[in-house]
């Protein structure tokens, strides 16, 4: 341990208390649980856990004094992208989980103000019953509301674009200065969480997926509870139906007929939530097509499966359903599985379906059982225009490359209004060194190939953040030059999350 780090740790203990400074074996939870290689590559040297903004400012002051790099996390549960591990080995993790207050819930205007340690479960419980407003949970409800929003995470309700439904931040800059964005810049503001821009430049987006400051409070808009809902699912019989599914779906999303995020899932992605791979295939390499076909028939799913939810009065929901069904009838073999219309106070049974009515769950982690052993996954997340030809090209390429590395295509698309997130999880058994290496190598191979084809990532694992950032290369990487200029101005000592999103001091 360097003298500077030793002195910094002593100062952290004086400022925060001994129990708020972790070293040694207490750092095990800060290792990447899904590392596709040696987790020690991104191991921290310590972790500090402040309880309030003043403590955050104290940590920043000490880090600046001793030039100790920090890596800030809300709760550190961004699994498949690195968890709580820092980009730079030996950094001190600034863990904000003890800052877990729900500052406000406005049941008239429909917003909440939270600190970084507040999870989707916490906020959901605080909304009470009957719920006048819903939170939109991501796939795993144990994560931080702030953390997921800052990473531009997604859920499945009409409020599924979390970054778009954020309004107002409190940020501590590297020099300890506290800034409130938008209308919050007025000391006596009465509209901080209802009007995002404020007066003059708007800075909220600058603190998403960046290392320009530490967000300590965030306003989030909540979805008004509808009168009722209907969960719908389509199963499509053929692998080559994807292009037609996307092109049929796109106008229904554009004109608002389908209000929720629409999720298109491959057969393996669906099956991994309800079964184990060995039930269908236990041989080497990727699952062969005949095994996938047998699996889909026995489970009762399609080669592609579409989930969405309709909200509102029953007459309106039925009208939307009829329009949607008429459009999808043109796809041969499409089967509609329609759940009954339910009052909004009635909860669905399935975990994936519960998310569509604003109820956090952990069903997404079922995928870890797919390959057996110590289940893990690393994700590849390219953006795709909602065009059938682009979706088919992306899915075909990922499937072929995954098979070359002996892995299955666990993939799907979440369609918003004008873009789709293509999420592919390279699922592997961490007890198997060959599978672990293959997963990491596959993600890097895909990223290079997709970048060359003009498909950029919206999120990336620690190990490939620099590669993902390098592909945004217009005008000799002008965007990164701008980011580094801002970084230098706000954080001249480079203490805040160096290397995050490829932004270095």
Q: What are the pLDDT digits (tens) for 395-436?
A: 999 999 999 999 999 999 999 999 999 999 999 999 999 999
User: For the chain, what are the domain ranges?
Assistant: 3-98, 102-224, 228-463
Q: Is the pTM of this model over 0.85?
A: yes
Give the active site residue among 57, 87, 399, 459.
Answer: 459
Length of the chain: 505
List Cα–Cα distances, 319 to 232, 251, 416, in angstroms.
13, 16, 21
Is 459 one of the annotated active-site residues of the chain? yes
Nearest Cα to 74, choosing from 242, 253, 226, 216?
216
* Mean pLDDT, rounded, of the chain: 96
Q: What is the CATH number of domain 228-463?
A: 3.40.462.10
What is the fold, at CATH topology level, of the domain defined by 102-224?
A: 3.30.465
Residue 350: per-residue pLDDT: 62
Position 357 confidence tier, pLDDT thresholds 50, 70, 90? very high
Domains 3-98 and 228-463 share a fold: no
| CATH of region 3-98, choose from 1.10.1060.10, 3.50.50.60, 3.40.50.800, 3.30.43.10 | 3.30.43.10
What is the residue whose two structure tokens read 């190598």? 441
Give the active site residue among 203, 281, 458, 472.
Answer: 458
Rounded Cα gap, residues 301 and 292, in angstroms? 11
Element holding 3 (H helix, E strand): helix 3-16
Residue 387 has pLDDT above 80, yes or no: yes
Is 66 one of the annotated active-site residues of the chain? no
Give the active site residue among 30, 81, 341, 409.
Answer: 81
Q: Tokens in use for 406?
A: 């002996």
Other CB atoms closer than 10 Å to residue 328's CB: what's the count? Answer: 18
The predicted-structure confidence for 78-95, as pLDDT tens digits, reads as follows: 999 999 999 999 999 999
Is 458 one of the annotated active-site residues of the chain? yes
Element holding 236 (H helix, E strand): strand 228-236
């Amino acid at each position: 341990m360097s003298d500077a780090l030793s002195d910094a740790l002593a100062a952290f203990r004086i400022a925060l208390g001994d129990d708020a400074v972790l070293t040694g074996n207490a750092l095990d939870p800060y290792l990447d649980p899904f590392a596709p290689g040696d987790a020690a590559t991104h191991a921290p040297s310590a972790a500090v856990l402040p309880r309030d903004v003043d403590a955050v400012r104290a940590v920043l002051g000490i880090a600046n004094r001793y030039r100790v790099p920090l890596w800030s996390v809300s709760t550190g549960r961004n699994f498949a992208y690195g968890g709580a591990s820092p980009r730079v080995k030996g950094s001190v993790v600034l863990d904000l989980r003890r800052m877990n207050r729900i500052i406000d819930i406005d049941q008239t205007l429909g917003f909440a103000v939270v600190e970084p340690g507040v999870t989707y479960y916490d906020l959901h419980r605080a909304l009470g019953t009957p719920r006048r407003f819903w939170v939109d949970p991501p796939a795993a409800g144990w994560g931080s509301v702030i953390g997921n929003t800052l990473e531009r995470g997604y859920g499945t309700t009409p409020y599924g674009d979390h970054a778009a439904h954020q309004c107002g931040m409190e940020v501590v800059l590297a020099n300890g200065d506290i800034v409130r964005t938008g209308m919050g810049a007025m000391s006596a503001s009465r509209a901080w969480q209802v009007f995002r821009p404020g007066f003059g430049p708007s800075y909220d987006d600058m603190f998403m997926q960046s290392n320009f400051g530490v967000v300590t409070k965030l306003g989030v808009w909540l979805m008004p509870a509808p009168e009722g809902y209907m969960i719908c699912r389509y199963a499509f019989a053929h692998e080559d139906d994807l292009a037609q599914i996307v092109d049929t779906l796109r106008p229904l999303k554009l004109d608002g007929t389908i209000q929720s995020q629409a999720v298109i899932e491959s057969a393996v992605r669906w099956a991994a939530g309800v079964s184990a791979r060995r039930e269908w295939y236990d041989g080497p390499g990727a699952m062969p097509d005949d095994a996938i076909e047998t699996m889909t028939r026995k489970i009762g799913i399609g080669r592609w499966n579409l989930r969405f939810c309709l909200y509102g009065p029953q007459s309106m929901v039925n009208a939307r359903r009829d329009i949607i069904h008429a459009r999808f009838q043109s796809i041969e073999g499409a089967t509609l599985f329609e759940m009954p219309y339910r009052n909004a106070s009635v909860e669905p049974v399935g975990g994936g379906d519960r998310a569509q009515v604003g109820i956090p769950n952990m069903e997404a982690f079922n995928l870890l059982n797919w390959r057996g052993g110590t289940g893990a996954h690393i994700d590849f997340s390219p953006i795709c225009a909602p065009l059938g030809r682009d979706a088919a090209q992306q899915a075909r390429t990922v499937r072929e490359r995954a098979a070359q590395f002996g892995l299955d295509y666990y993939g799907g698309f979440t369609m918003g209004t004008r873009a789709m997130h293509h999420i592919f999880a390279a699922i592997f058994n961490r007890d198997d060194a060959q599978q672990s290496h293959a997963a990491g190598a596959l993600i890097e191979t895909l990223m290079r190939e997709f970048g060359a084809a003009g498909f950029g990532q919206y999120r990336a694992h620690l190990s490939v953040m620099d590669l993902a950032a390098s592909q945004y290369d217009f005008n000799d990487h002008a965007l990164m030059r701008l980011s580094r200029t801002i970084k230098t101005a706000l954080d001249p000592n480079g203490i805040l999350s160096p290397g995050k999103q490829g932004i270095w001091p």
